[in-house]
Amino acid sequence: MEFEADAGFAEHLDAIDPLSEFRDRFIVPSVDGESVVYLVGNSLGLQPRKAQQILNEEMKLWAEKGVAGHFDQRRPWVDYHTQPGVSMASLVGARPAEVVLMNTLTVNLHLLMISFYQPTANRHKILIEERAFPSDHFAVESQIAQRGFDPATSLATVHPRPGEDTLHTADILDAINELGPELALVLLPGIQYYTGQVLAMSEIVAAAHGVGARVGFDLAHAIGNVEMSLHDWGVDFAAWCTYKYLNSGPGAIAGAFV
């Protein structure tokens, strides 16, 4: 198909898009009474039309059953975190037993780093990308300091080449190999939030494991957006939120993979 930069061609693509029906499953906001083209799902996804109905069902159950709602209903609250396990695992390419829904993204990153970041006198560095998501950057600095090391010397960054915005996979792999025996952990995004770049996760995992380091990914902008195979790639851990491309709403529970 030859692409054309005009409105007619765009309308044609919309007309033949097999996924176009999904647009009607979400409520698109309006501004001054006019519908908008919503391009900020990377910040907060649109509300599914069924969301209010499902929430009202749960409120009704709470009113009618009280504490019995933990067990006596079709969506028991006591194990709500396990109910989406199979579907959530399929989104990241994992086995259901490797995925859990809990907490928020940054809390999960802290919990995971407590286990997977085990610095020693010689191997204590964490590699992140320049312009990492601020809360990720702060979490890494906090973990380094909490273990008695200095972020000024234990935090390493990989950055785009001069005049460029995205990262070269070769530069990431070179940084991993150069840090080598000093590298304890690589923590990178599946998709870099600032540029939209999809990182070569499988290659990064292989390189990091090759120098004896652990690898974790922040998948906030990747889950529901690109296909992944965390289990097959040998990823050590990952964490994500669900309110962007999974459209769960502000304050919704996050996920983790081990």
* CATH value at residue 176: 3.40.640.10
| 43 and 89 both lie in a single domain | no
CA dihedral for 57, 61, 62, 68, sign (positive or negative): negative
Domain that holds residue 167: 85-257
| 14 and 107 both lie in a single domain | no
How confident is residue 79, by pLDDT bands cut at 50, 70 and 90?
confident
- Residue 35 pLDDT greater than 90, yes or no: no
| 157 and 109 both lie in a single domain | yes
What is the model's pLDDT at position 81? Answer: 80
For the question of whether the overall pTM of this predicted structure is more than 0.95, the answer is: no
Alpha helices in 117-227 (DSSP H): 134-146, 151-154, 169-179, 201-210
- Residue 151 pLDDT greater than 90, yes or no: yes
How confident is residue 82, by pLDDT bands cut at 50, 70 and 90?
confident
59, part of any domain: no
- Residue 72 pLDDT greater than 90, yes or no: no
Looking at every residue in the chain, the average pLDDT score rounds to: 96
How confident is residue 74, by pLDDT bands cut at 50, 70 and 90?
confident
Look up residue 242 and give its amino acid: T
* Rounded alpha-carbon distances, angstroms, from residue 138 to 59, 111, 216, 222: 37, 14, 16, 21
Looking at the 3D structure of the chain, how many domains does it have? Answer: 2
| 19 and 92 both lie in a single domain | no
**∠ CA 195-198-203 to the nearest 5 degrees?**
135
| 102 and 24 both lie in a single domain | no
- Residue 1 pLDDT greater than 80, yes or no: no
